[in-house]
Amino acid sequence: MTDIDTRSRILAATEIRFSQYGYTKTTMAEIARDCGMSAANIYRHFNNKLDIGAALAQQCLFEKELELKCIVTDESTTSAIKLQKFIQYLLHYTYNYFDESPRISELIDAMTIQRPEVIKAHRYSSLVLLRQLLEQGRNNGEFSFENIDETSEAINVAITAFYLPSVMPMFSLEEFEHKAKIVFELLLRSIAVR
């Protein structure tokens, strides 16, 4: 088994463990037991639980970014529909992930405090993709706005509730979908060419 295979096995076992018991209550010994290996072997691949958490968070966030990139680069649809899909995907990804693994928010909280660079890099990547989407819309004559950086940042702030795990328990998925729809419509009215 290669080092990459072993790391993947550790991350898969850790994701299950974090999902069931949370980040805080999980120990390196439990992760090792779940993997069927010694703790010493785990330490050959990761320095500590925080490093495993960071790698797991990066892996999950990278998969999310790939989906967002597919939405942005889809040439078969309009920029307005891409924006709607972008918002909906963020909502569904976060809601479903939280619904399936409510304790995973502990990992996000830990990364936000102890490894902010992981969360910051993801937010930056998402913002770059949103900016690309808006730029496409402006270039094809669908959108009109003065400053792309300010517009991207404003839209990102407006949709924050749809990608924060801590907000997910506040509403049902139906309620969130309605909120996402009216936020999208408001955003579109503010940037669409009339």
**Mean pLDDT score, 167-186:** 95
Are 62 and 54 in contact, with CB atoms under 8 Å apart? no
Q: What is the mean pLDDT of residues 25-48?
A: 94
Give pLDDT, residue 130. 98
Residue 110, burial from CB neighbour count under 10 angstroms (0-12, 13-18, 19+): buried
* CB distance 58 to 118 below 8 Å: yes
Structure-model confidence comparison of residues 70 and 164, the more confident one:
70
How large is the average pLDDT for residues 71-88?
Answer: 98
| Widest distance between CA atoms in the chain | 64
What domains lie within the chain, and their CATH numbers?
50-191 (1.10.357.10)
Q: Quick one: pLDDT at residue 55?
A: 94
pLDDT digits (tens, 9 = 90+) for 134-157: 999 999 999 999 999 999 999 999
Find, among 86, 49, 91, 73, the residue nearest to 178 by Cα.
91
> 86 near 71, Cβ under 8 Å?
yes
Between the CA of residue 99 and those of 16, 121, 152, 167, 172, what are the distances in Å? Answer: 14, 24, 28, 12, 10
Give per-residue pLDDT as tens, 110-121.
Answer: 898 999 999 899
- pLDDT exceeds cutoff 70 at 1: no
Taking the whole predicted model, whether its pTM rises above 0.75 is answered as yes
Give percent above pLDDT 70 in the chain: 99
